[in-house]
Chain A
Amino acid sequence: DTGVSQDPRHKITKRGQNVTFRCDPISEHNRLYWYRQTLGQGPEFLTYFQNEAQLEKSRLLSDRFSAERPKGSFSTLEIQRTEQGDSAMYLCASSGSGEGWETQYFGPGTRLLVL
């Protein structure tokens, strides 16, 4: 069990560019979550997948944001036409099914800076 991994760990981009982040959950976990954390705040929920189905999206996830989990394994989060307000840490978490499904395990995060 290698834990949740995220790539890249850091990303600097210019306003208006598109960026894509990847999350690899713990291998047997079928639930996957994305959160966003801005400086001085707790993480805020963005979206949730169960297997390949995206079951919930926060209103924080504007039309410029899209997330996928095509084969129910890794997930990608894409931000189009980035804005300076998108600068944040993007955290991915996963959890299993059955007993203990409520416990989410977090990756190290991708820190995005939009110039």
Chain B
Amino acid sequence: ETGVTQTPRHLVMGMTNKKSLKCEQHLGHNAMYWYKQSAKKPLELMFVYSLEERVENNSVPSRFSPECPNSSHLFLHLHTLQPEDSALYLCASSQVLGVMSGELFFGEGSRLTVL
């Protein structure tokens, strides 16, 4: 139990589908993040939210659309994805925004396969 819960854990979708990934943190943190983990590549930061406000969009294609309705929940809406988008999508949270506040708490990830 990490305190950060991601659903679904596995997702297979076609290129024309629309799906969403959900993340919920039970830690009372103010900042939430989406990371992408592909094989043989470093973890890539996608989006950062602080108190429901987006503070970073790390040049992510518009087929990925984040939503943060409150400080405990984070979504990643997916549409018209490409096979190269297949990866492990990790949600993380931190107490406050800023690396000096300490660690990131990661969820277990959503393994996405795009056919």
Q: Do A and B assemble together?
A: no
Give B residues with C-beta under 8 Å from A: none
